[in-house]
Amino acid sequence: MFDVIMETIDLDLPAFLGTLFSYAANPGLIIPAVLLMVLAIYYLNSVSEAYQNANMELKKKMQMARDEEKNRRNNTDSTNQVMKDLEDLLPKGSLMAPPEPGQ
């Protein structure tokens, strides 16, 4: 099959294209090119997996931050409600900060 293609190139195309294709079909050029492509695919696959792992970690951190914010907000709301309930039960001004000395 290779001989038929090369013969067709030699007969039907200009001479410089035949020479160019014969150099491009050289096994000394094809084998390193294939190895380089395999290495590039391996590298890109590794980088893709690393980005996926980093993305998952960032999602976990964002979820944890969201949960912490929600808990902090809920704790603040419940503390404010407890303080309001205490103000209703105790006499006026008893929960207010004491005046500073000398005033």
Q: Is residue 42 part of a domain?
A: yes
Q: Is residue 100 part of a domain?
A: no
Q: Is residue 103 part of a domain?
A: no
pTM flag (> 0.85): no
In terms of residue numbers, what domain contains 14?
2-84
SS3 for the chain is CHHHHHHHHHHHCCHHHHHHHHHHCCHHHHHHHHHHHHHHHHHHHHHHHHHHHHHHHHHHHHHHHHHHHHHHHHHHHHHHHHHHHHHHHCCCCCCCCCCCCCC
Q: Is residue 30 part of a domain?
A: yes
Q: Is residue 47 part of a domain?
A: yes
Average pLDDT, the chain: 82
Domain count, the chain: 1
pLDDT digits (tens, 9 = 90+) for 14-36: 888 878 877 887 888 889 999 99
